[in-house]
Chain A
Amino acid sequence: MSEIIKFDNVEVEFTRGSERFTAVGGVSLSIEKGEFFGIVGASGAGKSTLVRTINLLQRPTSGRVLVDGRDVTALKGRELSALRLKIGMIFQHFNLIRNATVFDNVAFALEASSTPRAQIAPRVVDLLRLVGLEDKIRLYPGSLSGGQKQRVAIARALANKPEILLCDEATSALDPDNTAEVVEALKRIKESYPITVVFITHQEQVARSLFDRIAVMDKGRVVEVGYAYDIFAHPKSQPARDLVARAADYELPREVLEREKDLFLLTFKEEHAYDAVISEVARRFGTDLSIIAGKIDYIRHKPLGVLLVSLRTVSERKRQEVLAYIRERACITEYKGASNA
């Protein structure tokens, strides 16, 4: 694989009044051709600002952004236009032209690339068929559901067969059904043609089902990059742990939380590995790991076991030994109850 996007020490500063504020501080990162690349992180971490430097909706203050090996940060006019034709983008709030029909919204992107008039209509129909909306062609955005609006936006973003699709919280304003609908559409598109997707989200479920690799951002910096599976299995940075913890947001009854003080979340990469660990702890240390809750998730088709256990040991020394033993075999994090408690 070759890299299609490369951030080289990218920095974005804003001036607010007399203050200077660093929204993105020295990010270096490569995104491979054809991958589904996720960016996660808390609100205000600089995710949107970073992604917007790729199509120069935001010009970096310093550093370079390379697209297909070419520095794009100085592009202007016609060249900037040409770059943007190769990069589709969808947004949290869809940003369709309200007073234009679904047809005209998609046709707009084709007019942007000076597509001959005769080719526009059939191409629009094709694109709308791709997102399953060919019957809505004459409607205005106002009469569509959120999921349908986003699919129109996807059709518009794909109109000029871009190599890159940028998605800024494209499913964050949608309910679970509409989110699933958009996620399915993106998956289908990804299978049918080789596009690189850069996707910002807060939604752990979306990250889990879409991303090949993930970059975790915090306060303008990338604090962790890795395969989605590894990040879910073993999150190293705090924002990544927060994201994963959201997945383990078991709704435990109050009595259980009060009775079980020493709760831990164990993450196993192999499906059955926890059998061995649980029984081995009992045999070796003569103590029980009682299972409170658990499940096996599939991240891009690979199983990941997550287990919430309670540790009932008598002495602190033994407790430390047990934890050390487990730590060698699985990822373990203390569980502090539901994240909103």
Chain B
Amino acid sequence: MLEQTLRILRNELWKAFYETAVMMGISFALSLVLGLLLGFALYLTETGAFFKNRALNSIASGIVNFIRSIPFIILVVFTLPLTFYLVGTKIGPVAASVPMTIAATVFLARLVEGGLKEVDDGVIEAALATGARSLLIVRKVLLREAAPSIARAVTVVFINLIGCSAMAGMVGGGGIGNLAVQYGYYRYETGVMVFTIVVLVVIVQISQHLGDYVASKFTH
């Protein structure tokens, strides 16, 4: 039994790790950039002191809500044509990272927007009173004051992406989640399932600690 489990892991584990790393790497990197930009856009187009634009804000906000209301597993299927158009295939880790990027981007955007809204109005007002232009305020005030909550938001999104990667794995993405389902579920290899759970728990714990550490470094 144990020997069987070890044999499967020896043969399959590195491939699964590699696939998960690809999915996570692509979608995390892209959603970090896109989510931050979209989050700032949501905030800045809503706030009178900056680039208030009600039309743009409602469109962006509507799209975000629309995507956020689709369960991830359905989003994967729903975005298959887009995925095929973008990467030329519907299966594999690169294909899986398309819906993952989309889901993580809108999730992060909302969290970043929330973090920005919590920045003390008085601090923003004082910055405006110095005569600073909006971009300087974004860089030197908003980004700094919201940095701890942005770090926490990124952590939440990263951990959420691990969950998504497992789901995407089931529908053709490969990776650790796929390993657990293929062997643990279909072939009754409980050992493999337990092992993958342990691995995921360790990754999540480390990410959370890292996120908390970064957030505390940004807080003064």
Complex contacts, B140 vs chain A, CB 8 Å: 97, 100, 104, 108, 111
Is A47 part of the contact surface with B, judged by Cβ < 8 Å?
no
Once the chains are docked, how many angstroms separate the CA of A81 from the CA of B130? 8
What number of A-B contacts does a CB cutoff of 8 Å give? 82
Q: Are B145 and A84 in contact (CB under 8 A)?
A: no
B125 at the interface (CB under 8 A from A): yes
A217 to chain B minimum Cβ distance, whole angstroms, is: 21
Name which residue of chain A comes closest to B142, CB basis. A97
> What is the bound-complex CA distance between A294 and B98, given in angstroms?
82
Are A140 and B128 closer than 8 Å at their CB atoms?
no
- Report the interface size class on chain A: 20 to 34
Contact residues in A for B71 (Cβ distance below 8 Å):
none
Measured CB to CB, the residues of A under 8 A from B are 55, 57, 80-85, 87-89, 91, 93, 95-100, 104, 108-109, 111-113, 140-142, 153, 156-157, 159-160, 166
Q: Which of B23-31, B131-139, B173-181, B184-192 contacts A (4 or more CB under 8 A)?
A: B131-139
Measured in the bound complex, the distance between the Cα atoms of B128 and A65 in whole Å is 19
Q: Which residues of B contact A109 (CB under 8 A)?
A: 130-132
Those of B135-157 within 8 Å (CB) of chain A: 136, 140-141, 144-145, 147-148
Partner of A95, one of B126, B131, B147: B126
B residues with a Cβ closer than 8 A to A are 120, 122-123, 125-133, 136, 140-141, 144-145, 147-148, 218-220
* CB-based contact A57/B220 at 8 Å: no
- Contact of A93 with B144 in the complex, beta carbons under 8 Å: no
Residues of chain A within 8 A of B127, CB atoms compared: 97, 108
B contact patch SS: helix
Q: A97-B140, A99-B218, A100-B144 are in contact. Are A112 and B125 (CB under 8 A)?
A: no
Write out the residue numbers on chain B whose beta carbons fall within 8 Å of the beta carbon of A153.
Answer: 126
Q: Are A108 and B132 in contact (CB under 8 A)?
A: yes
Contacts of B220 in A (CB 8 A): 98-100, 140-142
Given A98-B220, A142-B220, A160–B126 Cβ distance below 8 Å? no
Question: A88–B126 Cα gap in the complex (Å)?
Answer: 9
A100 and B219 alpha carbons, distance in the complex (Å):
9
- Distance of A199 from chain B, by nearest CB (Å): 15
B217 CB to closest chain A CB, in angstroms?
10
Instruction: Decide: B131 and A57 in contact? CB cutoff 8 A.
Output: no
Of the residues B123, B128, B133, contact of A96 by C-beta under 8 Å: B123
**A57 and B128 form a contact (CB under 8 A):** yes
Q: Which residues of B contact A112 (CB under 8 A)?
A: 130-133, 136
Which residues does chain A contribute within 8 Å of B123, judged by CB atoms? 95-98
Complex CA gap A95/B148 in Å reads 18
A-B contact pairs, 21 of them (CB 8 A): A81-B131, A83-B131, A84-B131, A91-B125, A95-B120, A95-B122, A97-B123, A97-B140, A98-B120, A98-B123, A98-B220, A99-B147, A99-B220, A100-B144, A108-B130, A111-B136, A112-B133, A113-B131, A157-B130, A160-B130, A166-B129
